[in-house]
Structure 1
Amino acid sequence: MRTLIIVCLFSLVAAALGVPKEYYTDKYDNIDLDEILSNRRLLIPYVKCALDLGKCSADGREMKSHIVDAMETECAKCTKKQKRNTRRVLKHIIINEKDYWEQLKAKYDPIAKYWPKYEEAVNKDDKEFFDE
């Protein structure tokens, strides 16, 4: 119990002192997302990587390694650009790749704890949610 209190205190002090937030690497933030989303030949290998159905490129492995954490924390370690791009990709997959979307949901969120809000945002055409 004492350890928990100490950890909480250090966390509060770090927050108060403005310790920089930990982010995922931005090494791949400048890939041409429009090119990937407009070309299934480029998009599907990323999806298959995430589903363990195909080989992963370096950027695919990086993306895959953060899926669960990003989903559980609402992308807390994502930069603004990563959040925006993640939502763009999800919107594209929900609308244009329904079979893969179902497979991704089954693999990463079989109890539908996280994904319904994305489907709801797409169904409402919530531009603010996806362009934030």
Structure 2
Amino acid sequence: MNSLLLFSLLTLFVVAFANEQYTDRYDNINIDEILSNKRLLTSYIKCILDKGRCTPEGKELKLHIKDGMQNSCSKCTDFQKNGARKVVKYIRANEKESWEEMKKKYDPKDEYKEKYEAFLAADN
């Protein structure tokens, strides 16, 4: 469900790092700025859904969405965990059609739903 899409989206921007934790290279990204800018948000969503070009950050995010969903963001930094929750909640509320597309793309059989829903419901 790409909760971790956006996890995604803003967790923007993660890279696998020694299979233990994603890189924190993009942890300085202003998630609020992206969420408040329809053009920027749409660009990231299109990237994740293979419907548009990707920034380097978007490419890294797209590489790790499924892993993040499968593993409850266990390789994420605290910034990435908080960012993923914030982004997914925003997309669910404001970009429902995109959210459905992300779920269909990254978890078509709802195999990981229980894990990422538990992650999204947690505080940290």
* TM-score bin, normalised by smaller chain: 0.7 to 0.9
Do the aligned residues in 2 keep the contact of 1:94 with 1:119 (CA within 8 Å)?
no
Give distance in 2, aligned partners of 1:74 and 1:120: 8
Do the aligned residues in 2 keep the contact of 1:90 with 1:118 (CA within 8 Å)?
no
The residue number in structure 2 matching 1:109 is 107
Give distance in 2, aligned partners of 1:80 and 1:105: 23
Q: Does 1:72 align with 2:70?
A: yes
Instruction: Determine which of 29, 32, 42 is the counterpart of 1:31.
Output: 29
Aligned length: 107
Root mean square deviation of aligned Cα: 2.2
Greater RCO structure (CA 8 Å; 6+ sep):
2
Give distance in 2, aligned partners of 1:79 and 1:87: 12
TM-score (norm 1): 0.73
Give distance in 2, aligned partners of 1:44 and 1:78: 23
Give distance in 1, aligned partners of 2:43 and 2:85: 18
Q: Which amino acid aligns with 1:41?
A: R
Identical pairs, percent? 52
- Per-residue CA deviation, residues 69-97 of structure 1 (Å, 9 max, x unaligned), is 11111111101111110111100010100
The residue number in structure 1 matching 2:88 is 90
Do the aligned residues in 2 keep the contact of 1:105 with 1:115 (CA within 8 Å)?
no
- Show structure 2 runs of 5+ residues with no match: 1-17
Give distance in 1, aligned partners of 2:20 and 2:49: 26
Q: 1:117 to 1:94 in 2, by over 3 A?
A: farther
Choose between structure 1 and 2: higher helix proportion.
1
Of structures 1 and 2, the larger Rg is shown by 1
- Which consecutive segments of 4 or more residues in structure 1 shift more than 3 A? 115-122
TM-score (norm 2): 0.77
Q: Which amino acid aligns with 1:74?
A: S
The residue number in structure 2 matching 1:61 is 59
